[in-house]
Amino acid sequence: MSMHAAPEGLPDDAVVGTGLGEAWRTGRVFGPPIRRIFRDVVADRVPGPRPPQAAMLFQPSADPYWDDDTSFLAEFFNEILHQDTCHPCTADGVALLAALAVDDRVPPRQRFESVVLLFNIATVADRQLAECWPDTPPHADRGSEHRAREAVRACTPGLLARWAFECPAVRLALAGLAVVFPTARTLPALAPRLEGFAGRHPHGTDIGDYVRFVLVLAAGDDHRTLAAVETLTDAYWQGTARRTPLRARAVHLLGQMLARVGHGLTRSAGHGS
């Protein structure tokens, strides 16, 4: 009797002899459920040659924990943005995140996480500048940061076009991405799109404060932005040097707020609410 059950969707004889070798090579067996979902989405939406990070989806040898869901997501996302630092392949990995963010086969939580990571990639230079000012961020790779930011810019219109079809969590992440890449079309649309959130989540709540800060940024008024940054930083968040450029301070704060929104959504999901 075989030590391994045939994976769902494959006949028994597909996992013996040369069939087993081929199945391992293509990554069609023994992967955890979320990896299989990611693999199917990337196979359909990202034609080859694929970015190097896709090896974790298709090549068991690329991940020593191939059969364990526990660390897959963190390791996969870290391959794209390593410890919040862009590297030469980060721009390539943006295509994977964009594909995952728009496919309904991917659970809402992972679609949210994919958009948040796109936000983090697009803002890494500003956020690190705010953290290190007046010093230079020690591990910055400006060329990689620029290429990755432009890759996110290129995919953002397609992400925002799905607003009407997205769940509330993903909409919150998309709102952050919209103000990172403001256009004359997207900014006026944010206010009506976020009215429902503002009505349901008052001041002093994570989502309420985040949504209202997004709307301040969308208005493009530096005086209001500075006032909001000062007020919110004093009340809740890790501060930044006041001499830091305002955009960097604002994006640094927005990233913190989006992260806390994500933690809150995760806790809510864990409690079944």
What is the Cβ-side half-sphere exposure of residue 154, based on CA atoms within 13 angstroms?
Answer: 12
pLDDT reading at 11 higher than 50: no
For residue 160, is pLDDT > 70? yes
pLDDT value, residue 268: 62
Q: Is 81 in contact with 48 (CB distance < 8 Å)?
A: no
- Alpha carbon 150 to its chain centroid, in Å, reads 15
Cβ(129)–Cβ(142) below 8 Å: no
Q: How confident is the model at residue 5 (pLDDT cuts 50, 70, 90)?
A: very low
8 Å CB contact between 225 and 250: yes
* Beta-carbon count within 10 A of 126 CB: 22
pLDDT of residue 194: 95
Position of tokens 């728009």?
A: 102
Helix 142-160 crosses helix 168-180 at what angle (to 10 degrees)?
Answer: 130
**Cα 158 from Cα 98, distance rounded (Å):** 9
What percentage of the chain has pLDDT greater than the value 70? 85
**How far apart (Å, rounded) are the C-alpha atoms in residues 28 and 53?**
17
Residue with tokens 């391994």: 4
pLDDT at residue number 30: 47
Per residue in 86-134, pLDDT (tens digit) is: 999 999 999 999 999 999 999 999 999 999 999 999 999 999 999 999 9
Rounded to two decimals, the pTM is 0.86
What's the CA gap between 40 and 58, in Å, rounded? Answer: 10
Mean pLDDT of 185-200: 93
